[in-house]
Chain A
């Protein structure tokens, strides 16, 4: 009988009977895996996050991330990584070395930079301004979140979802409210995956078919740009260097993200001589970083952290941040069109979000529905790429004031 009792204690069933909440979290993990695998919603992130949720909530496995207080020794001293690994297992080792230090989001940004082409933005520089208006969701939801009872740091982390940029949201949350990392990462990536639903919905609510038929190429012919680029390669090489230095003076707290993005872009634009670096940044390094980021973020979602009213607030607030950002971009275009002879399709404002290139692709499809000859992809990419810069700057502002 004693042996049977010991056998029962050895299994996870005893833990489950004491606290059945992890079962619900296992269900959440399976749902995330379903969305990633079957529905193909951001599978590169949702699959590792979903599996991380499952690992963290397997009773008795010790794979869940423990709160910061657990590794604090008092007097602002903390356990070293060896002690963390020994005491709380490898997932906590990975979390406290790669995530809590803020290492992985900038590494992913380096890869994003190596995959980004600033060409469309440089050819349509004026359109990049609409990437600024699309950050409105961040700062307006910050207000609402504070009114709803979130602390300023928590509200800042929630609001950054409106930037539609996963690594930026994660980086900001690590610094401002690490205890909300799991729900915020899930909300950010889920809404990014829902861009093909959210943008058409917001566009339908706010734009007329006449506005959506504005043909950008025809507008370009009517009012041609004064700037013709004679050597695009040289411009693309100089741009990340100069921009990085200038932004560093204005918003230094955005440099870990933007600096790495611009470095990744530089090694890509140099071409053959740095091809190996660019391949490494956008391939193996980014892929490895994505795996560890996804798993560890998923592992922060233990039942006691996730099953909370704040999670619902984050999911609702995140949606509004996203929606207001889309509307912000659209209304700036509408305002611009009131005063300018050269009209701009409001879809270009709607893509001021960071979700590159999905937002642009979705906007292009909408434009083609109204006019089969109206290809707006390149124009949308201009505001879409500037949205990446805009959301990183917005994150820098939040970190500077609230961090």
Chain B
């Protein structure tokens, strides 16, 4: 029993220590990725959205975002919205 209890005490220290280390790593990895992405691949989507908005002359960004994302899903990300005509 005392041997098992010793093992459990050991696991309390090791287990909590490991979980804290891993979640520290999660923070570290997350921050590193955010810094890397901010520096090397800052948002490209916004530019496309602005272009399309200005081309189409639609003022509501929500409507534009809905149309652009619908086209992206249907075409598997390959299609681009260049014009919208009301009939």
- Co-assembled chains A and B: yes
Does the CB pair A393–B18 fall under 8 Å?
yes
* 3-48 of chain B: CB within 8 A of chain A: 4-5, 7-12, 14-16, 18-27, 29-31, 33-38, 41-45
In the complex, chain A residues whose CB is within 8 Å of the CB of B16: 132, 135-136, 139
Identify the closest chain A residue to B79 (Cβ): A272
A interface, size bucket: 35 or more
A339 close to chain B: CB less than 8 A: no
Quote the shortest CB–CB distance from B40 to chain A (angstroms).
9
Does the CB pair B34–A229 fall under 8 Å?
yes
Q: Bits for A118-162, please: 1 = Cβ < 8 Å to B, else 0.
A: 000110011011011001101110110011000110011000000
Does the CB pair B42–A142 fall under 8 Å?
no
In the complex, chain B residues whose CB is within 8 Å of the CB of A131: 23
Does the CB pair B29–A142 fall under 8 Å?
no
Quote the shortest CB–CB distance from B15 to chain A (angstroms).
5
Does the CB pair B27–A132 fall under 8 Å?
no
B61 close to chain A: CB less than 8 A: no
Quote the shortest CB–CB distance from B13 to chain A (angstroms).
8
Number of interface residues of B (CB under 8 A): 41
Does the CB pair A401–B33 fall under 8 Å?
no
Q: Bits for A270-284, please: 1 = Cβ < 8 Å to B, else 0.
A: 011101000000000
Quote the shortest CB–CB distance from A258 to chain B (angstroms).
9
* Distance, CA A235 to CA B38, complexed state (A): 9
In the complex, chain A residues whose CB is within 8 Å of the CB of B31: 125, 227
In the complex, chain A residues whose CB is within 8 Å of the CB of B12: 139-140, 142-143
Q: Which of A135, A228, A246, A247 contacts B15 (CB 8 A)?
A: A135
User: 14 interchain pairs (CB within 8 A)?
Assistant: A125-B27, A125-B31, A140-B12, A152-B8, A156-B11, A230-B42, A231-B43, A231-B44, A250-B18, A272-B72, A273-B76, A386-B23, A386-B26, A402-B11
Top 6 A-B residue pairs of the complex, sorted by shortest distance between their CB atoms: A139-B12, A230-B42, A231-B43, A132-B23, A143-B8, A397-B15
Given A129-B24, A152-B4, 20 more pairs with CB closer than 8 A: A128-B23, A128-B26, A128-B30, A131-B23, A132-B19, A132-B20, A143-B8, A229-B38, A231-B38, A235-B30, A239-B29, A246-B25, A247-B25, A250-B18, A251-B18, A271-B77, A272-B72, A386-B23, A389-B26, A398-B15
Query: Which A residues fall within an 8 A CB radius of B?
Result: 121-122, 125-126, 128-129, 131-132, 135-136, 138-140, 142-143, 146-147, 151-152, 155-156, 227-231, 233-235, 238-239, 242-243, 246-247, 250-251, 271-273, 275, 386, 389-390, 393-394, 397-398, 401-402
